[in-house]
Amino acid sequence: MQVYDVIIIGSGLAALTAAGRLSLDRNVILFTKSQDKDSNSYQAQGGVAAAIAADDDWQQHFTDTMNAGAFHNLSKNLEQLTKQGVSTITELIKEGMHFDKGTDGNLDLAKEGGHLKRRILHAGGDATGKALVSFMLSLLKEKVEIREYEMAVDLMIQNGHCIGVHATCADGEIRQYQAPATIIATGGCGQVYTYNSNDSTITGDGIAMAYRAGALLTDMEFIQFHPTVLYQNKRAIGLISEAVRGEGAFLQDRQGNRIMEGVHEHKDLAPRDIVARTIFNEMERGEDVFLNISPVRHFSRRFPTIHQLCKRYGLDPAGQLLPVIPAAHFLMGGIKADSNGETSIDGLFAVGETACTGVHGANRIASNSLLEAMVFGNRTAERILEKRTKMPANTNDSLNVDHHTASLPDKQEISERMSKNVGVIRTRQGLEEMKNWLEQFDFLHINQLTLTKDEIETINMLTVSWLITTSALERNASIGSHFRADYPVPVQHAGRKEIIRHISENIVEPV
């Protein structure tokens, strides 16, 4: 048994931000099941949205975010995000983080979908996430113990308090770690869909762990599908940032028709859910959809990562249309948390995409995710420091490693069925088919500590797929990213759908 002040699960920007602040005053250990740079944050091409320009303010950023989120956003938390975003970015720049600047020496602010102002900061063109994660890791050097290739498997809960985690190493050894505060920052669940933009490690682990522990979850039906993921040979091969359309690129069919004409007032820069559904409907009719980047000036210099991606797959962005497909990108729901990261379980915190603070509503606006990671990562750290949480008096936790055999499907079958039945457009028939298929697997009663890493990930994918599916069945309405073909008329703010596991009965219950 090893004891720390704070345990952090995950290595994305939210985890690193919290770790940076906490390491000044606390003994912190951070777990990542792969390498420390294997995260969605590191891959993020888009930038950071903040109302930092002289002609902008937090109220306008707030309004644009509410509009994109179908007014399902929690306004109090969103106000904190948009207000504190400016000071967070300003402080980061003072610490030495470099964002791209124009020829005039000022920050080169871009415009992306849903934003009516140019307020997106980038670094390295389209490598903002890489720059931010690398910068944060440099600040943490020798301050935080980072355990790579060690996977947190389940939370240790005693008398309603989270006291730590069980973890498994690459060699299968099981270890216990205790701390009065544990932060889940494991990202979303993109790998439960065939076409996704996520890192290969993102299998919903933190959300599944929290659910098994009895934490309250909310809004799990809201999965954002990014409209423009490069598509080749029936494979999603890489994200094409929304910033490309912000610089003038547009969507068209093979005949040259611009598909967003007449669909939304902001055309190709409409909120992501609207653009994704438009592309999906075109493809359902047998049409191919392409991104035309001919209007974008200096594409290879402005978007070097995307340019190299195209070249790697034999595409010439200067002379070819780029085939695209909507792909699972971001989970707006997750572990219910306030703006300080506190969950329904004492001692357990959640931050980043794993958490649902309500700031994104039913559909996240572009480039608010990295901002959320930093603003709420800092707030969560401050709350832990303020609370000075102590371990419960009795913290003995038995370790049950009796072997159980798990009968599980392969991951590909899970993702294929989720894409078919719980994708961009949903129906009751498809959702019920998915639910019935999932429930043939006993994923809630298997001892995780007896399984391989691959089996644990499969169980987590089954758990999260079931949570998404059952939540989507509960919401008989279309709002934001959740579109029911049997309830096609969009509505605004239809109430939150919260779910909690009643451990004694092993059921999921909407609240």
What tokens were used for 170? 């690459």
Q: In the annotation, is 272 catalytic?
A: yes
Neighbours of 510 (CB within 10 A): 13
What tokens were used for 291? 């991104």
In sequence order, what are the beta bridge partners of 49?
A: 120
d(CA 478, CA 491): 6
Whether the CB-CB separation of 335 and 206 falls below 8 Å is answered with yes
What tokens were used for 222? 């809201």
d(CA 1, CA 166): 10
Give Cα separations from 212 to 157, 275, 467, 468 (angstroms).
10, 35, 12, 15
Give me the count of residues in the chain: 511
d(CA 347, CA 20): 19
Give Cα separations from 509 to 192, 310, 351, 483, 499 (angstroms).
22, 45, 24, 22, 5
3-state secondary structure 289-329: EEEECCCCCCHHHHCHHHHHHHHHCCCCCCCCCEEEEEEEE
User: How do the residues of the chain divide into helix, strand and coil, expressed in percent and rounded to 5?
Assistant: 35, 20, 45
Whether the CB-CB separation of 123 and 129 falls below 8 Å is answered with no
Give Cα separations from 360 to 102, 192, 363, 413 (angstroms).
30, 21, 6, 30
Task: Give the distance, in angstroms, between the CA of residue 421 and the centroid of all CA atoms in the same chain.
Answer: 21
| Phi, psi torsion values for 249, nearest 5 degrees | -65, 155
Three-class secondary structure of residue 468 per DSSP? helix
d(CA 306, CA 44): 11
d(CA 59, CA 82): 8
Secondary element (H or E) of residue 85: helix 75-95
d(CA 334, CA 188): 8
- Active-site entry in 26, 272, 277, 383: 272
What tokens were used for 51? 């109302």
Give Cα separations from 57 to 74, 119, 464 (angstroms).
19, 10, 37
- Catalytic residue numbers read 272
